[in-house]
């Protein structure tokens, strides 16, 4: 770069820097004027966090330079209106860092937009379709983005999205520049397969896109934790909780945000679903469907009978045909996805059964077959609403009797059953997951094992005043403004060392459209936060 006149910063004798547009750990983006063509451009100045890197680690500095050049080449290979256009690159050789000269997108970023509040589902679906088109073009050119997130989606003044920052893009046959063992990407939006060390394919970019849309409509990240390590662990091990505000976008999120990349639909199917979500009025109830849905496998249960559990759905472990397996039409895709969310925990009726369409589109009640103890009669099983003080205490006693432990690392209560992570006796980190159903005891196939995140600590459920639950449910019905809730449940909020937050319980109410809200309270039942439905 040359300075030119005093007070002026001119790159390559041509691009005059005017104002800073943004920046991060790897440099700064400037608004600049092209003095030759008399137009405004964006100039990316690449600078590592350690400005002395080239001096004490020239190999790493050269790797960074090559990575930036790779970004330029990646962008140059993708010609699409939803991908930022690169005009020029300034490279002075070994020992320097390049400058990228790109088109100036003047509507800010999606991150800027979300800072003002969540998006409506149809709006998010429309934006998501534009980003998907950009990814399609990139994938067709052999480029994976690998860092799809709100900050990397720019908005034109008319709202159209533009995907940028291909700096960590993986180009087929040219991936050796990714340092072994390094975290390449933003942990919050990385797909599970990439967290586990795999390079990931186009399906990993689809996960990142879906997670970005989840954040856009829900207003929070479902797996973000207090530390990078804890977030990575959550992405790798935890199921994505059902959204409560996603509306018509819910089917897309339900199909894509599953751990197994083979279980995700392809880009064509996702595109059709986004089109349907963008076109559907938010106050319109989806029509009924004759597609049959099997009873769901709860998230904490391991795969059984040759099937692989993938979040909210069950799919064959073997590779399956994309698109056709989701639905045979856009409407079918939308409706199957909607019903898939409805049979998740929280979508049950007060007895814990789930609605499943029968032949000819008629709805019949199906209850997943539990394991009944020898002393119970399958002909007459006494049930109770578990989302009551008595029901909760019954479940807690059952967990204690089964395990001999009174410490818990997770606790979720639904009208028909309770899921709990019960700590291994004597351990502060290891737990076993169980599901207890009203009147029938523990599910077969339970007992999956895991560990708490590094910033969590177990709790004693005797410290909670469960007698306050009825009053909390009554307050939630009044304050969450969910007109006709068809799903209600209680989730334990684990205490966080990183955020210095205590344990809490949260009441959720959701209606048939996937719209809902939640309310948090202390273990003693004092309401601390109300997040009502947006209608």
Which range of 31-45, 84-98, 324-338 scores highest in mean pLDDT? It is: 31-45
Ranges in the chain annotated CATH 1.10.510.10: 110-170+181-294+308-344
Which residue do the tokens 């976008």 mark?
249
Closest CA to 277 of 345, 213, 325: 213
Of the listed ranges 160-174, 290-304, 487-501, the one predicted with least confidence: 290-304
Architecture label for domain 110-170+181-294+308-344:
Orthogonal Bundle (1.10)
* pLDDT over 80 (residue 381): no
Given the residues 136, 147, 165, 188, select the one marked as catalytic.
Answer: 147
Residue from 8, 5, 27 nearest 18 by CA: 8
Mean pLDDT, residues 262-286: 79
Residues 214-255 pLDDT 10s:
999 999 999 988 778 888 888 888 889 999 999 999 999 999
**Reduced 3-state DSSP string for 187-245:** HHHCCHHHHCCCCCCHHHHHHHHHHHHHHHHHCCCCCCCCCHHHHHHHHHHCCCCCCCC
pLDDT for the residue 317: 33
Per-residue model confidence as pLDDT tens digits over 460-471: 999 999 999 999
Structure tokens that stand for 519 in this block: 């309310």
Does the pLDDT at position 373 exceed 60? no
Residue 315 has pLDDT above 70, yes or no: no
Q: Looking at 158-167, 229-238, 293-302, 469-478, which range is the least confident one?
A: 293-302
Most confident range (mean pLDDT) of 91-95, 163-167, 340-344, 473-477 is 473-477
> Between the ranges 162-171, 230-239, 377-386, 470-479, where is the mean pLDDT highest?
470-479
Instruction: Inform me whether the pLDDT recorded for 491 exceeds 70.
Output: yes
Distance CA 334, CA 248 (A): 8
Q: CATH 3.30.200.20: which residues of the chain?
A: 10-103
Q: Which residue has the higher pLDDT, 272 or 301?
A: 272
Q: What average pLDDT does this structure show over 297-309?
A: 32
pLDDT score of 378: 38
Residue 311 has pLDDT above 90, yes or no: no
Residue scoring higher pLDDT (19 or 321):
19
Q: Of 389-398, 450-459, 467-476, which gets the smallest average pLDDT? A: 450-459
Query: Given the structure tokens 């040359």, which residue do they identify?
Result: 2
What was the pLDDT predicted at 514?
Answer: 55
* 367, two tokens: 């209850």
CA 424 to chain centroid, in Å, comes to 29
CB 63 within 8 A of CB 177: yes
CB 107 within 8 A of CB 156: yes
Give mean pLDDT, residues 334-352. Answer: 35
Q: Is a pLDDT exceeding 70 seen at residue 203?
A: yes
pLDDT class of 297 with cuts at 50, 70, 90 = very low
Give the residue-averaged pLDDT of 123-140: 93
CATH topology of domain 10-103: Phosphorylase Kinase; domain 1 (3.30.200)
**Does residue 357 register a pLDDT over 60?**
no
Tell me the C-alpha distance between 129 and 121, whole Å: 12
- Predicted local distance difference test score (pLDDT) of residue 23: 67
Per cent of the chain over pLDDT 90 is 28
Which among 298, 459, 488 has a CA at the least distance from the CA of 386? 488
- pLDDT confidence of 168, banded at 50, 70, 90? low
Contacts of 418 (CB under 8 A, 6+ apart): 386, 391, 392, 395, 411, 412, 435, 436
Most confidently modeled range among 67-76, 144-153, 248-257, 409-418: 248-257
406 pLDDT above the threshold of 90: yes
Angle at 121 between CA 120 and CA 123, to 5 degrees: 65
- 204-213, 425-434, 491-500: least confidently modelled range: 491-500
Kindly tell me if the per-residue pLDDT of 353 is higher than 60: no
Round the average pLDDT of the chain to a whole number and report it: 74
The whole-number average pLDDT for the span 128-136 is: 94
The confidence score (pLDDT) of residue 392 equals: 95
pLDDT at 515: 62
Find all residues with CB under 8 Å of 308, minimum gap 6, and list them.
Answer: 260, 263, 314, 315, 316, 317
- Per-residue pLDDT, averaged over 417-434, amounts to 87
Convert the pLDDT of each residue in 28-72 to its tens digit: 888 999 999 999 999 988 776 566 665 666 777 777 778 777 767
Q: Is 147 a catalytic residue?
A: yes
Pick from 288-292, 363-367, 522-526: least confident: 288-292
Q: What's residue 466's pLDDT?
A: 96
C-alpha distance from residue 443 to each of 382, 383, 389, 390, 450 (Å): 16, 15, 22, 20, 18
Please check the confidence at residue 161 and state whether its pLDDT lies above 50.
yes
For position 534, what pLDDT does the model report?
57
pLDDT at 125: 95
Kindly give, in sequence order, each residue whose CB lies less than 8 Å from that of residue 488, ignoring residues fewer than 6 positions away: 346, 387, 415, 473, 476, 507, 508, 509, 510
């Amino acid at each position: 770069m040359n300075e030119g006149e005093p007070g002026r910063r001119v790159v390559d004798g041509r691009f005059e820097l005017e104002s800073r547009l943004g920046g991060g750990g790897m440099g700064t983006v400037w608004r600049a004027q092209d003095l030759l063509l008399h137009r405004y451009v964006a100039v990316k100045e690449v600078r590592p966090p350690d400005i002395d890197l080239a001096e004490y680690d020239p190999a790493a500095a050269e790797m960074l330079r090559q990575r930036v050049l790779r970004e330029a080449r990646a962008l140059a290979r993708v010609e699409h209106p939803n991908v930022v256009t690169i005009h020029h690159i300034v490279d002075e050789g070994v020992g320097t860092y390049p400058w990228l000269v790109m088109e100036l997108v003047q509507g800010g970023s999606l991150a800027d937009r979300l800072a003002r509040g969540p998006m409506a589902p149809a709006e998010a679906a429309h934006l998501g379709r534009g980003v998907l088109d950009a990814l399609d073009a990139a994938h067709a050119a052999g480029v994976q983005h690998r860092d799809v997130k709100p900050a990397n989606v720019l908005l034109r003044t008319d709202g159209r999205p533009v995907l940028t920052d291909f700096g960590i893009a993986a180009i087929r046959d040219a991936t050796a520049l990714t340092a072994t063992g390094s975290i390449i990407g933003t942990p919050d939006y990385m797909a599970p397969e990439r967290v586990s060390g795999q390079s990931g394919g186009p399906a990993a970019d689809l996960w990142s896109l879906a997670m970005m849309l989840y954040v856009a409509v829900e207003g929070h990240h479902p797996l973000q934790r207090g530390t990078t390590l804890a977030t990575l662990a959550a992405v790798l091990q935890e199921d994505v909780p059902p959204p409560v505000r996603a509306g018509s976008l819910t089917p897309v999120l339900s199909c894509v945000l599953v751990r197994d990349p083979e279980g995700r639909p392809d880009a064509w199917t996702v595109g059709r679903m986004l089109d349907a979500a963008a076109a559907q009025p938010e106050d319109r109830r989806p029509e009924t469907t004759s597609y049959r849905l099997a009873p769901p496998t709860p998230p904490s249960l391991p795969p059984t009978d040759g099937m692989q559990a993938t979040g909210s759905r069950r799919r064959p472990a073997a590779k399956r045909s994309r698109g056709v397996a989701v639905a045979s039409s856009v409407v079918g895709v939308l409706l199957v996805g909607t019903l898939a969310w409805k049979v998740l925990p929280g979508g049950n009726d007060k007895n814990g059964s789930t609605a499943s369409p029968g032949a000819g589109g008629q709805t019949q009640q199906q209850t997943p077959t539990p394991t009944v103890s020898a002393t119970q009669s399958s002909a007459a099983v006494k049930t109770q609403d578990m989302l009551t003080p008595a029901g909760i205490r019954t479940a807690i006693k059952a967990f204690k009797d089964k395990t001999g432990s009174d410490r818990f690392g997770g606790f979720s209560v639904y009208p028909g059953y309770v899921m709990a992570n019960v700590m291994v006796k004597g351990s502060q980190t290891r737990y076993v997951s169980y599901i207890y159903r009203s009147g029938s005891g523990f599910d077969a196939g339970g007992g999956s094992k895991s560990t708490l995140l590094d910033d969590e600590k177990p709790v004693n459920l005797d410290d909670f005043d469960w007698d306050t639950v009825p009053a909390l449910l009554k307050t939630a019905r009044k304050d969450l403004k969910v007109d006709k809730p068809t799903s209600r449940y209680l989730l334990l909020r684990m205490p966080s060392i990183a955020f210095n937050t205590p344990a809490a319980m949260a009441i959720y109410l959701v209606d048939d459209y996937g719209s809902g809200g939640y309310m948090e309270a202390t273990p003693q039942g004092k309401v601390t936060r109300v997040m009502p439905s947006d209608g």
